[in-house]
Amino acid sequence: MNTVLLTGGAGYIGSHTAVCLMRCGYGVIIADNLINSVREVIPRIEELGGRAVRFHEVDMCDERAVEELFSASPDIGSVIHFAGLKCVPESVREPLRYYQNNLGATVTLMQAMQRHGVKRLVFSSSATVYGDPETVPISETAPVGGCTNAYGRSKYISECIMQDACKADAELSVVLLRYFNPIGADESGRIGENPFGVPNNLLPYVAQVAVGRREKLFVNGNDYPTPDGTGVRDYIHVTDLARGHERALRYTEAHKGCEAINLGTGKGASVLDVVREFSNASGVDIPFEFAPRRPGDIAVCYADPRKAWELLGWKAEKDLHDMCLDTWRWQSANPNGYTD
Q: Where in the sequence numbering do the catalytic residues fall? A: 151
CB-wise, 229 or 296, nearer to ligand NAD?
296
- Residue 49: CB partners within 8 Å, gap ≥ 6? 18, 19, 21, 22, 23, 28
Ranges within 92-151 binding ligand UD1 (CB under 6 A): 126, 128, 151
Chain-centre distance for alpha carbon 278: 21
Q: For the beta carbon of residue 1, count every other beta carbon within 10 angstroms.
A: 10
DSSP structure class, residue 5: E
CB of 97 to ligand UD1, least distance (A): 16
Contact 291, 218 (CB under 8 A): yes
Which of ligand UD1, ligand NAD, none binds 297 (CB below 5-8 Å, type-dependent)? ligand UD1
Which of ligand NAD, ligand UD1, none binds 14 (CB below 5-8 Å, type-dependent)? ligand NAD
DSSP string, 121-182: EEEEEEGGGG-S-SSSSBPTTS------SHHHHHHHHHHHHHHHHHHH-TT-EEEEEEE-EE
Question: What interhelical angle do 12-23 and 41-49 show, nearest 10?
Answer: 30
CB-wise, 86 or 307, nearer to ligand NAD?
86
Q: Determine the residue with CB nearest ligand NAD.
A: 11
Measured CA to CA, the distance from residue 249 to residue 81 in angstroms comes to 12
CB-wise, 34 or 284, nearer to ligand NAD?
34
Contact 45, 191 (CB under 8 A): yes
Measured CA to CA, the distance from residue 85 to residue 100 in angstroms comes to 10
x-or-dash string of contact with ligand UD1, 285-314, rule CB under 6 A = ---------x-xx-----------------
Contact 238, 263 (CB under 8 A): no
Strands 54-57, 27-32: parallel, antiparallel or unpaired by DSSP? Answer: parallel
Choose which of 4, 42, 202, 207 interacts with ligand UD1 (CB under 6 A): 202
Q: For the beta carbon of residue 59, count every other beta carbon within 10 angstroms.
A: 18
x-or-dash string of contact with ligand NAD, 181-210, rule CB under 6 A = xx----------------------------
CB-wise, 9 or 137, nearer to ligand NAD?
9
Cα three-residue angle 228-229-231, rounded to 5 degrees = 105
Task: Count residues near ligand NAD (CB under 6 A).
Answer: 28
- 189 near ligand UD1 (CB under 6 A): no
Which of ligand NAD, ligand UD1, none binds 8 (CB below 5-8 Å, type-dependent)? ligand NAD
CB of 233 to ligand UD1, least distance (A): 5
Give the residue from 8, 111, 101 showing the smallest Cα distance to 58. 8
- 234 near ligand NAD (CB under 6 A): no
Choose which of 19, 27, 32, 45 interacts with ligand NAD (CB under 6 A): 32
- 166 near ligand NAD (CB under 6 A): no
| Interface residue list for ligand UD1 (CB under 6 A) | 88, 126, 128, 151-152, 181, 200-202, 205, 217-221, 231, 233, 271, 294, 296-297
| Interface residue list for ligand NAD (CB under 6 A) | 7-8, 10-14, 32-37, 59-61, 82-86, 101, 105, 124, 126, 179, 181-182
